[in-house]
């Protein structure tokens, strides 16, 4: 009898763990996905997200699906007194999910928190100098992407980037490109690819373009790609993502090989939205 009771208790514990850890979260997510996309949300996107307005109805519908998953799984935290509104949540979610259209995705599966400041903020910064000496200083920032589980954004800069979708500068696209890059385990400009065979051409084209940008910067040449992309390969990937979505015609003309790699990775051609 005692053994029967023991097994009954064990079965009950296993069943409750399965329910709370697996079934209930899954059921809640499905319920969130099935909810109709509110008209107010649609109005907010139409007002703020220039890219959303240019998508086909099928793409808008796919983006809405991704937004629901994103908003269900991520927690927004207001910093320096900023109150998180539906407008902030939606605007960030829509722009972040633009990078996921047409792709197999976990919708930034590792990301849990999005910290939003009203405007650029100051954060402690460590720099490794000559002789291995580490210097500590405060640095002004508009955004950050952490490999662990968080993204940090300055709301005014984020909104400016979303509303001005043709100047090649977009903070949300930049930081969430870093998130995609970090999914591979390190931020190195080589995000996860569907096919292992894609890495060779990706590495060849991007490293060539990266070196060219570094040379152009040293010579003081003006370039379509922001010189900030010459900082390191991770920043290069984030910067070319911004240009790819916001200035695709120019990129296709001036950097055709790079453009082709990005079409292959992102599985969209933003020239259709111009």
Contacting positions for Zn ion (CB under 5 A): 235, 238
- Closer to Zn ion at the Cβ: 68 or 169? 169
- Closer to Zn ion at the Cβ: 159 or 238? 238
- Closer to Zn ion at the Cβ: 189 or 248? 189
Q: What is the Cα–Cα distance from 91 to 42, expressed in whole angstroms?
A: 10
Pairing of strands 134-141, 143-145: unpaired
Nearest residue to Zn ion on Cβ basis = 238
Q: What is the Cα–Cα distance from 58 to 81, expressed in whole angstroms?
A: 38
The CB-of-83 to Zn ion minimum distance in angstroms stands at 27
Q: What is the Cα–Cα distance from 56 to 94, expressed in whole angstroms?
A: 15
The CB-of-153 to Zn ion minimum distance in angstroms stands at 12
Helix and strand totals (H; E) in the chain: 12, 6
The CB-of-178 to Zn ion minimum distance in angstroms stands at 6
Measure Cα distances from 240 to 74, 103, 110, 114, 130 in Å.
26, 19, 23, 23, 30
The CB-of-175 to Zn ion minimum distance in angstroms stands at 7
The CB-of-239 to Zn ion minimum distance in angstroms stands at 8
- Cα diameter, the chain: 84
- Closer to Zn ion at the Cβ: 85 or 231? 231
Q: 129 and 151 in contact (C-beta within 8 Å)?
A: no
DSSP H stretches of helix in 102-232: 155-163, 171-182, 198-219
Pairing of strands 113-117, 150-154: parallel
The CB-of-137 to Zn ion minimum distance in angstroms stands at 18
- Closer to Zn ion at the Cβ: 45 or 171? 171
- Closer to Zn ion at the Cβ: 69 or 116? 116
Reading the block at residue 56, the tokens are 């086909």
- Closer to Zn ion at the Cβ: 74 or 178? 178
Reading the block at residue 176, the tokens are 């969430």
The CB-of-112 to Zn ion minimum distance in angstroms stands at 20
């Amino acid at each position: 009898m005692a053994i029967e009771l023991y097994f009954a208790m064990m079965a009950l514990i296993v069943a409750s763990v399965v329910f709370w850890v697996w079934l209930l979260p899954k059921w809640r997510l499905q319920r969130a996905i099935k909810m109709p996309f509110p008209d107010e949300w649609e109005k907010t996107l139409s007002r703020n997200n220039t890219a959303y307005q240019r998508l086909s109805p099928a793409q808008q519908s796919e983006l809405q699906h991704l937004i629901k998953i994103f908003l269900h799984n991520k927690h927004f935290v207001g910093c320096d007194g900023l109150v998180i509104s539906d407008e902030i949540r939606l605007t960030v979610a829509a722009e972040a999910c633009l990078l996921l259209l047409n792709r197999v995705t976990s919708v930034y599966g590792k990301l849990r928190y999005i910290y939003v400041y009203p405007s650029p903020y100051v954060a402690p910064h460590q720099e490794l100098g000559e002789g291995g000496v580490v210097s500590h200083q405060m640095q002004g920032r508009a955004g950050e992407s952490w490999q662990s589980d968080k993204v940090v954004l300055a709301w005014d800069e984020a909104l400016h980037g979303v509303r001005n979708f043709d100047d090649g500068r977009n903070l949300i696209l930049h930081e969430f490109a870093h998130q995609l890059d970090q999914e591979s385990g390190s931020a190195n400009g080589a995000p996860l690819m569907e096919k292992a065979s894609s890495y060779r051409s990706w590495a060849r084209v991007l490293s060539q373009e990266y070196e060219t940008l570094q040379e152009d910067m040293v010579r003081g040449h003006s370039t379509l790609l922001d010189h900030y992309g010459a900082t390191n390969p991770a920043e290069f990937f984030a910067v070319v993502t911004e240009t790819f979505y916001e200035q695709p015609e120019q990129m296709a003309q001036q950097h055709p090989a790079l453009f082709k790699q990005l079409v292959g990775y992102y599985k969209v051609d933003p020239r259709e939205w111009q």
